[in-house]
Amino acid sequence: MRFRIHPLFFALALLLVLFGQASALLWTFAAVAVHEAGHALAARARAYTVRELTLFPYGAAMGMGEEMDPKSCVIVGAAGPLANLLAAAGVLALWWLVPAAYPFTYGFLRANLFIALFNLLPVYPLDGSRIVGGLAKGSLKAVSRMRRAGIVLSVLLFVLFVVSFFLKAVSFTLGVTAVFLFAGAALDGGRATYVSVLSSGRKNYLAGVVERAVTVSRDTPLGRLFHYVDGRSVTSFRVVEEGGEGEPPRELFRMDERALRDAALSGSLTRTVGEAVSSDEASAVRQGRKTGGGRRGPAQG
């Protein structure tokens, strides 16, 4: 994964430190970390991994080049704000148990609520645009409109920032948010944040790729198999049925990464491997050797 912090982030850090808001900066970093952890866990569950992450104060910006199925767009897009809302709920629970923690954790609550609610706005490159894009099934027209909406919103926020000077109630949050939102909406390079863990382009054959076999039970959740898939190896799965006490497990069939991808696309990743293979919609997964009673089925394709 390539990770970089947007240059303007350092300007924000300097600004907050100069105005005595260093604690706000730390809480923002913590809330952004929670936000991105939510995205990453949801993406991994949907068989995607982070390819490149550019960090903004409100999280990582969506990339125009993302190739994610519509359902995953909605799930991954909503996971970040949901993680922040859960963190905020955790802080409220802490206050109920330990009221004395209020002054020390208020900044964390505020940062989580701001990042969650702001990201739900349906403007590019916020998470709301990823959700709407998923519901619109990746419509380029919808994404283009949300990108223009992001530019308009950034200009509006900057105008409000200027007005705050004349009202003698300067809000640097408005100014900083406006700059970052404009940078994400108008100047984004379009690189994808997430990529499928089964994308052949991720295999680094130039550096060498290891072939490996992993033995799993037929009762293993399908989503767990993706934890063994990466760009440094080609993985095949030997699916077994556990025998009785003292008996070795019996091999049922084998799956390669292509078969795993087909099974993942055919239904929920919470299904077990056995359910995915036995279902009609995932019949194509019945590839590779199938053993039982001394017979072998077709070779893995």
Residues 64 and 101 in one domain: yes
Is it the case that residue 108 has pLDDT exceeding 60?
yes
Query: Total structural domains in the chain?
Result: 2
Residues 123 and 142 in one domain: yes
Residues 174 and 226 in one domain: no
Nearest partner of 261 among 282, 280, 243, 238, judged by Cα: 282
Residues 190 and 273 in one domain: no
Count the helices and strands in the chain (H runs, E runs): 9, 10
User: How far is Cα 123 from Cα 178, in angstroms, rounded to an integer?
Assistant: 13
pLDDT score recorded for residue 226: 77
- The two structure tokens encoding residue 220: 């293993």
Looking at the domain assignment, is residue 258 inside a domain?
yes
User: How far is Cα 113 from Cα 94, in angstroms, rounded to an integer?
Assistant: 16
8 A C-beta contact, residue 47 and residue 195: no
Looking at the domain assignment, is residue 277 inside a domain?
yes
Residue that finishes a domain, picked among 174, 196, 218: 196
Please identify which residue in the block is written with the tokens 């809000």. 171
H or E stretch including 171?
none
Query: Which burial class, exposed, middle or buried, applies to 96 when counting CB atoms under 10 A from its CB (0-12, 13-18, 19+)?
Result: exposed
Residues 221 and 104 in one domain: no
Region of poorest pLDDT, from 38-42, 88-92, 297-301:
297-301
Residues 156 and 254 in one domain: no
How high does pLDDT run on average in the chain? Answer: 75
Mean pLDDT confidence for 18-24: 67
Region of poorest pLDDT, from 23-37, 222-236, 267-281:
267-281
Residues 208 and 168 in one domain: no
User: How far is Cα 128 from Cα 40, in angstroms, rounded to an integer?
Assistant: 16
The predicted-structure confidence for 166-207, as pLDDT tens digits, reads as follows 877 766 667 777 777 777 677 654 455 556 666 645 677 777
Largest CA distance in the chain: 85
Nearest partner of 196 among 299, 45, 85, 28, judged by Cα: 45
8 A C-beta contact, residue 117 and residue 81: yes
The predicted-structure confidence for 58-81, as pLDDT tens digits, reads as follows 565 555 445 677 888 888 889 999
Looking at the domain assignment, is residue 301 inside a domain?
no
Q: 70-97 vs 22-45: helix axis angle to the nearest 10?
A: 130
Looking at the domain assignment, is residue 214 inside a domain?
yes
Residues 213 and 192 in one domain: no
Residue that finishes a domain, picked among 136, 164, 196: 196
Residue that finishes a domain, picked among 158, 176, 196: 196
Q: Structure pTM? A: 0.65
Strand 291-292 versus strand 250-255 pairing type: unpaired
Residues 24 and 159 in one domain: yes
Residues 130 and 91 in one domain: yes
Looking at the domain assignment, is residue 138 inside a domain?
yes
The predicted-structure confidence for 114-172, as pLDDT tens digits, reads as follows 889 988 988 887 888 888 888 876 566 777 788 888 888 888 888 888 887 787 776 66
Please identify which residue in the block is written with the tokens 């701001």. 114
Looking at the domain assignment, is residue 223 inside a domain?
yes
User: How far is Cα 172 from Cα 176, in angstroms, rounded to an integer?
Assistant: 6
Residues 186 and 248 in one domain: no
User: SS3 letters for 12-58?
Assistant: HHHHHHHCCCHHHHHHHHHHHHHHHHHHHHHHHHCCEEECEEEEECC
Residues 22 and 140 in one domain: yes
Looking at the domain assignment, is residue 125 inside a domain?
yes
SS3 of residue 217 by DSSP: strand
User: How far is Cα 70 from Cα 130, in angstroms, rounded to an integer?
Assistant: 9
User: How far is Cα 41 from Cα 226, in angstroms, rounded to an integer?
Assistant: 12
- Residue 112's domain comprises 2-196
